[in-house]
Amino acid sequence: MYRYDEFDAAFVRQRVAQFRDQVARRLSGELTEDEFKPLRLKNGVYLQLHAYMLRIAIPYGTMSARQLRKLAHIARTYDRGFGHFTTRQNLQFNWPKLSDIPDILAELAEVEMHAIQTSGNNVRNVTADHFAGATAEEVADPRPYAEIVRQWSSLHPEFSFLPRKFKIGITASEHDRSAIKTHDIGLHLKRLAGGGLGFAVWVGGGQGRTPYLAQLIRDALPEADLLSYIEAILRVYNLHGRRDNIHKARIKILVNSIGLQAFRSEVEAEWARIKDGVLKLPAQEIARIEAYFAPPQFATRPPPAALRPADRSFDRWVTRNTHAHKQPGYAIVTISLKPIGGIPGDASAAQMDTIADIAQRFSCDEVRVSHEQNLVLPHVRLGDLWSVYQELKAIGLAEANAGLVTDIIACPGLDYCALANARSIPIAQRLSARLAPRQDLVGDLKIKISGCINACGHHHVGAIGILGVEKRGEEHYQLLLGGSGTEAAALASITGPGFGPDGIIDAVEKVVDTYLRLRAGPQEAFLAAYARLGAEPFKEAIYAST
Amino acid sequence: MSKASGHVQVLTANRLSDGAVVFLNFDGDWVATLAGVVIARSPDEVRGLSARGLFDAGRNLVVDPYLVEMREVAGALLPIRQRERVRLEGPSILDDVPGYTAPAASGVGVNAGGNREAACGDRGRRAEAA
């Protein structure tokens, strides 16, 4: 795991002191809200519906037990006893007092965390595969490259006032768990023809009111050229991106308005100018960062012959919530933050403390945050699975539903968010409760819910997507089908007229019923069935009686 | 005049120190409930209330003041939009939040007294709590 050097530590401490002074001047009236707002946003502080919200970066979704304990402490001491893990591998506190936030940031700095650039028109938290460094599917751990990009982009003077926010995601597996095609820049680390490592670079993806999937701008970028190529993309975007209309300011609009070829030409021209300059990544610098992410010392003794007592619930959990590890004798464990009828992504301070303890004892001191709002224990010995399961069960987080229809992504929605038009969380809760009895029968099926067009709940890439809108002052929900955020990324299509809060629950159940009735068999997943059948049978079922 | 017949407007904002939702009451204080809130019916009252919001924002008592449209039901005020109902009542899911700890009861008002002569909403009438 990356550790701050003296520069990092001094920089973050300095930033805390600056913000403490800025908050004091705001509370005293020396700064107006117009003057203060851009300063607080640069430090991850939003003003939401009911209170301020602090968004804390968890770089590439990786944190230590010590860091998670600190988040629990902050939840307990400064907030209301819980935190919310987001679709960008961040954590949000929904109730901090403005006057407390400098103290919170000082506490975060003690454990090498911060909230810098979790908001504002700059490069946001770089996200990565939550199984990085543990899965056998990857060509290499993508996190060292994410860290290199993080260091390059932090307070980058040229890119601190971009036309709009900028999101970078990275994967090193063919199976994309990072949804890279929904990012402004998506990076796919892979082995190049010559044997070295490099990247397929995707550009111009994004959701929001105008969703686009990213397009491939360069297929085989040598790793040494990573920063110069990204800088060239950012420079072209910074120059040509629209600043006159917030809804047309993202890079996806630029790429799709001038076309990929024209955009690529500009990027390549700029890159040719800078590629052999100071941004060339020396192999020794990559190796230096890689050393921070060296694999832990795995136990070499064989796992016990009997991994588990006879327990059907445990069997289900192992089947659904563990994933093959690159190290024999180990597994990757997904901790579902989606208890049936619960709130997606929420964890109490007590739960965070217990998970930190489990991570310290059973997962080489590491915890990951997934963009699907779950937590991950990346390195668990097979012989420890039973113990881990028992301890998670004791805190209500042993639901065996990773990837199932109850593993729902939902943004905070109108319950918290000032931008939202409709509530997301209660819809997720009701769907979870309604569909839970059949979740094993249904199999893999991703429902994603957003409370407004900004699409923080990724509804555009949900197999079943739900978008909350406002209709004559009341909540209304549009239904979308057929989306995916994986390597087979696809944008979902709206089925037709929307529904009220009760109607959307029934409509989703009809979609599930139709899938179960028409699928070729349990082996045909929802998206495969949808591709074969088309939208019509689902629409017929949904709108038959309306 | 309010947008629809029978609708009135009240002034709301977020408190600077903690972001809490507050409303301007008849005493010129910013408080957490609709009890005693100032309501505006006529265009003049709406303009006056809006000006009061900007005035108190300029004094750093509150942030982002704006007018909320309400309807009166049996003497109580009910926000027209679902957004404002959630904002008034708080998140609808707090009973399900793991580990949720409600804050200790505290005085929620932001005293804007001393400038009550500037409380243009005084021309409105006192309303009942919703």
Model confidence pLDDT, tens digit, residues A13-37: 999 999 999 999 999 999 999 999 9
Task: Give B46's contacts (C-beta < 8 A, 6+ positions apart).
Answer: B1, B2, B9, B40, B67
pLDDT band at B117 (very low <50, low <70, confident <90, very high): very low
In three-state secondary structure terms, B64 is strand
Task: Give A82's contacts (C-beta < 8 A, 6+ positions apart).
Answer: A75, A346, A347, A348, A349, B97, B98, B99, B100
Are A91 and A50 contacting, i.e. CB atoms less than 8 angstroms apart? no
Are A357 and A65 contacting, i.e. CB atoms less than 8 angstroms apart? yes
In three-state secondary structure terms, A289 is helix
Among A29, A50, A425, the residue with its CB nearest the CB of B60 is A29
Beta-carbon-side half-sphere exposure of residue A185 (alpha carbons within 13 Å): 25
* Residues of chain B contacting A51 with CB distance shorter than 8 Å: 14, 18-20
Among B87, B96, B98, the residue with its CB nearest the CB of A49 is B87
Q: What is the pLDDT of residue A30?
A: 96
Cα–Cα distance for residue pair A347/A357, rounded to 1 Å: 15
In three-state secondary structure terms, A334 is strand
Looking at CATH, the fold of the domain delimited by A312-394 is given as: Alpha-Beta Plaits (3.30.70)
- The CATH superfamily label for domain A409-543 reads Sulfite Reductase Hemoprotein, domain 1 (3.30.413.10)
Q: Do A134-290 and A6-110 have the same topology in CATH?
A: no
Contact A29 B59 (CB under 8 A): yes
Cα–Cα distance for residue pair A75/A54, rounded to 1 Å: 11
CA distances from B78 to A298, B40, B82 (A): 61, 14, 10
Cα–Cα distance for residue pair A167/B84, rounded to 1 Å: 31
Element (H, E) at A93: strand A91-93
pTM for the model stands at: 0.93
Element (H, E) at A465: strand A464-471
- pLDDT (mean) for B26-38: 95
Contact A33 B90 (CB under 8 A): no
Are A369 and A91 contacting, i.e. CB atoms less than 8 angstroms apart? yes
* Residues of chain A contacting B64 with CB distance shorter than 8 Å: 33, 47
Are A417 and A451 contacting, i.e. CB atoms less than 8 angstroms apart? yes
- pLDDT (mean) for B104-117: 45
Backbone angles phi, psi at A144, to 5 degrees: -60, -35
Model confidence pLDDT, tens digit, residues A254-264: 999 999 999 99
Distance from CA of B99 to the nearest CA of A (A): 5
Q: How many residues in chain A? A: 546
Contact B92 A26 (CB under 8 A): no
Q: Which residue positions in chain A have pLDDT lower than 70?
A: 302-308, 545-546
Q: What percent of chain A has pLDDT over 70?
A: 98
Q: In three state form, how does the secondary structure of A252-265 look? A: HHHHHHHCHHHHHH
- pLDDT (mean) for B42-49: 96
Interface pTM, i.e. ipTM: 0.90
Q: Is B90 on the interface with A (CB under 8 A)?
A: yes
DSSP A125: P
Compare all CA atoms of chain A with the CA of B96 and give the residue at the minimum distance: A342
Cα–Cα distance for residue pair A136/A138, rounded to 1 Å: 6
Q: What is the pLDDT of residue A5?
A: 87
CA distances from B124 to A380, B36, B74, B121 (A): 66, 11, 18, 5
Q: What is the pLDDT of residue A182?
A: 98
Model confidence pLDDT, tens digit, residues A420-442: 999 999 999 999 999 999 999 99
Domain residue ranges in chain A: 6-110, 134-290, 312-394, 409-543
Q: Report H helices in A164-311.
A: 226-240, 251-258, 260-274, 283-292
- The pair of structure tokens assigned to A50 is 């009911």
Q: What is the pLDDT of residue A41?
A: 95
b/e sequence A145-158, b meaning 16+ C-beta within 10 Å: bbbbbbbbbbeeee
Q: Which CATH class is domain A6-110?
A: alpha beta
b/e sequence B10-46, b meaning 16+ C-beta within 10 Å: bbbbbbbbbbbbbbbbbbbbbbbebebbbbbbeeebb
Cα–Cα distance for residue pair A345/A128, rounded to 1 Å: 18
Strands (E), A293-359: 322-324, 330-335, 346-348
Q: What is the pLDDT of residue A178?
A: 96
- The pair of structure tokens assigned to A418 is 């000032």
Q: What is the pLDDT of residue B4?
A: 57
Q: Taking the alpha carbons of B102, B103, B107, B110 in that order, is the dihedral positive or negative?
A: negative
Q: What is the pLDDT of residue B119?
A: 30
β-strand A197-203 against A375-381: which pairing, if any?
unpaired
Distance from CA of B27 to the nearest CA of A (A): 23
Are A84 and A412 contacting, i.e. CB atoms less than 8 angstroms apart? yes
- Tell me which CATH code domain A134-290 carries: 3.30.413.10
Among B57, B81, B99, the residue with its CB nearest the CB of A473 is B81
Cα–Cα distance for residue pair A345/A86, rounded to 1 Å: 7
Q: Which of A530, A462, A469 is nearest to A491 (CA)?
A: A462
pLDDT band at B112 (very low <50, low <70, confident <90, very high): very low
Q: What is the pLDDT of residue A1?
A: 85
Contact A50 B98 (CB under 8 A): no
